[in-house]
Amino acid sequence: MSDNRHYTTVLVIGSGIAGCTAALRLADEGVQCTLITSSSSLDHGNSALAQGGIVFKADDNDHKQLEKDILIAGHNFNSVKAVHGIATKGPHAVEDILVKRLGIPFARQKAPSECEWDLTREGGHEAPRILHCADYTGRAIMDGLIREITLHPNITVLKNRTAIDLLTSHHHAENPQFQYELENECLGAYVFNEEEERVETMFADYTIVATGGIGQIYLHTTNPHGSIGSGVAMGFRAGATVHNMEFVQFHPTAFHHHSGQKFLITEAMRGEGAKLMNSKGEYFMPGYDKRADLAPRDIVARSIVDEMLKNDDDCVYLDTSEMKHDLANRFPTIFKRCLELGIDIRKEPVPVVPAAHYSCGGILVNEHGRTTVARLYAVGECSCTGVHGANRLASTSLLEALVWADTAAKHIKQRAHLPITEELRSVVPDWMPLGDDHNDDPALIAQDWSRIRNTMWNYVGITRTSQRLARAHEDMRDLSKHLHTFYKSTPLSKRLIDLFHGCLTAYIITMAAKRNTTSIGCHYRAD
């Protein structure tokens, strides 16, 4: 193949816990994988930022209670099959992959106990069942994965590669005979090589999309810069079914600072005794829900917004005075970052606001991570397994990513002997440049991003109405048309690809929210 055309057994797009786990499990079985990341490192996504931990088990009979907790948090809009699957498979996956294979140093009990692990509890959980590494669980898991990924002979890592579009037999095969086939097959992806400023055609027998979340299409978010919904946008364009996109979870407690800096303040702090209070020093959550500070995220986030509006405040506060832990040791990351911004969490309350945090919807997949497009899998936050329903239960996201990455790898391994044909690859052309008008103006792109983020925050945010959603639909439709024209006349760049993906994702979410007239979970309709 030419320098622009590459072939691999499995192409993994994304390098968080889902993508890395899938690649590692396949590679351990002897399957050749190519893993691409849009950054210069493998840990630039949400996974490394996860603080609270990963769901394990309170005891050997905990799976039924865990199922119940997930269904309650998800407002019973969940896939019962998927919830049962994660509750029963989860503990084994954690032990097998994270403890035995990677040796992740989860916190252990200091004194002899029936359980060797120091399990914590978060909002919505009836019992302590969450494994953690202080408040940097995601960082510890990613360190272990990156170590093994980097050394594995069956994994090729390509950095600074941004996926543009998924290749499919119905959309890209120039021989019309393939378009008469009922089954649309994914054949890999067009990928932008940022260092060399060229587009590569990457063929794969199987493609796994693991691109993470969508938070950066909102004005306020805990997500890193790459979380713009690229996987959802590409899956949608390829013809894959997307589902539950209206259910965007806003984390109740992101650090609020006049500089605009925001970072996650884990729910584990409330699980271990911290309480939300308003500017008057009043603990307000008991007035909104009987579970008070341990209510599910959607309820807490709306309660905070209501309290802020009631008191005309920019934030509320997380009071840590009744917490029994040595906060500097139990939550070292949060302690350090707050201290750098002038807040000592041992002595004063932490200013917090809600922020876009997690997408409960995504590319629809089955229990094996398969999408509705043949040879295409999706794992992690960009997928919709049905586990979360209308609202995610705290600390289930890392577990979902781990379990579905593992099952997707097993499913692909069983089919690795069925490659796409050389004939099919031969009729897929390389990327054709769309235009040569050098109008990739940073000011124009910044303005378009500002329009997307403000529209989504104000109209498709924590509280929605028919009028707001109608306005958002108009704005996103018009911007999408404009960007299609702009996209066709301008040479590709990473920032242009990201803008195109982000705009399409915003439009998909807006349409889903507009269609769903029922107020449920993260999708709260005030009318």
Residues 405, 458: one domain?
no
Residues 402, 298: one domain?
no
Residue 373 lies in a domain: yes
Which is more confident, 46 or 271?
Answer: 271
Of 355, 384, 417, the residue that ends a domain is 355
Measured CA to CA, the distance from residue 155 to residue 78 in angstroms comes to: 35
Give residue 438's pLDDT: 64
Of 335, 355, 375, the residue that ends a domain is 355
Which is more confident, 132 or 267?
Answer: 132
Residue 433 lies in a domain: no
Assign 3-class secondary structure to 344-379: CCCCCCEEEEEEEEEECCEEECCCCCECCCECEEEC
Measured CA to CA, the distance from residue 170 to residue 176 in angstroms comes to: 9
- Model confidence pLDDT, tens digit, residues 401-438: 999 999 999 999 999 999 999 999 999 999 987 766 66
Predicted structure pTM score: 0.91
Cβ(155)–Cβ(27) below 8 Å:
yes
Residues 188, 309: one domain?
no
Of 309, 325, 355, the residue that ends a domain is 355
Alpha helices by DSSP H, 368-465: 397-413, 422-426, 442-459
Residues 232, 261: one domain?
no
Give residue 116's pLDDT: 87
Is residue 1's pLDDT more than 60? no
- Model confidence pLDDT, tens digit, residues 238-258: 999 999 999 999 988 999 987
pLDDT band (50, 70, 90) for residue 45: confident
| 128 Cβ contact list (under 8 Å, min separation 6) | 58, 119, 120, 121
Residue 522 lies in a domain: no
Which is more confident, 77 or 434?
Answer: 77
Least confident among 40-44, 163-167, 385-389, 437-441: 437-441
Measured CA to CA, the distance from residue 365 to residue 378 in angstroms comes to: 7
- Model confidence pLDDT, tens digit, residues 171-219: 999 999 998 999 999 999 999 999 999 999 999 999 999 999 999 999 8
Measured CA to CA, the distance from residue 413 to residue 409 in angstroms comes to: 6
Measured CA to CA, the distance from residue 148 to residue 475 in angstroms comes to: 45
Residues 57, 153: one domain?
yes
Is residue 114's pLDDT more than 80? no
Residue 524 lies in a domain: no
For 11-26, what is the mean pLDDT? 97
Residues 29, 160: one domain?
yes
Residues 477, 415: one domain?
no
pLDDT band (50, 70, 90) for residue 338: very high
DSSP 190-249: EEEETTTTEEEEEEEEEEEE-----GGGSSSBSS-TT-S-HHHHHHHHHT--EE-TT-EE
Alpha helices by DSSP H, 239-296: 268-271
Give residue 437's pLDDT: 64
Is residue 440's pLDDT more than 70? no
Residues 45, 135: one domain?
yes
Residue 139 lies in a domain: yes
Residue 437 lies in a domain: no
Residue 436 lies in a domain: no
Q: Examine the residue annotation and report whether 297 is marked as an active-site residue of this protein.
A: yes
Assign 3-class secondary structure to 120-184: ECCCCCCCCCEECCCCCHHHHHHHHHHHHHHHCCCEEEECCEEEEEEEEHHHHCCCHHHHHCCCC
Give residue 2's pLDDT: 62
- Model confidence pLDDT, tens digit, residues 468-515: 999 999 999 999 998 888 777 788 899 999 999 999 999 999 999 999
- Of the candidates 433, 12, 442, the one whose C-alpha atom is nearest the C-alpha of residue 209 is 12
Is residue 77's pLDDT more than 80? yes
Distances in whole angstroms, Cα of residue 93 to Cα of each of 71, 85, 491, 519: 21, 11, 44, 35
**φ, ψ of residue 163 in degrees (nearest 5):** -70, 135
Residue 432 lies in a domain: no
Provide the residue range defining the domain that includes 303: 253-355
Distances in whole angstroms, Cα of residue 261 to Cα of each of 43, 219, 264: 20, 12, 10
Q: What is the CATH number of the domain that holds 257?
A: 3.90.700.10
Q: Which of 25, 270, 297, 468 is catalytic?
A: 297
* Mean pLDDT value across the chain: 93
Residues 214, 91: one domain?
yes
Is residue 292's pLDDT more than 70? yes
Give me the number of domains the chain comprises.
3
Give residue 435's pLDDT: 67
In the chain the first and final C-alpha atoms are separated, in Å, by 57
Measured CA to CA, the distance from residue 140 to residue 134 in angstroms comes to: 10
Residues 183, 97: one domain?
yes
Tokens of 433: 């440049």
**φ, ψ of residue 9 in degrees (nearest 5):** -65, -50
Give residue 209's pLDDT: 98
Give residue 299's pLDDT: 87
Give residue 32's pLDDT: 97
Cβ(404)–Cβ(190) below 8 Å:
no
Residues 283, 379: one domain?
no
Which is more confident, 491 or 355?
Answer: 355
Q: What is the CATH number of the domain that holds 455?
A: 1.20.58.100
Q: What is the CATH number of the domain that holds 63?
A: 3.50.50.60
For 362-388, what is the mean pLDDT? 98
**φ, ψ of residue 83 in degrees (nearest 5):** -65, -45
Residues 393, 347: one domain?
no
Is residue 146's pLDDT more than 70? yes
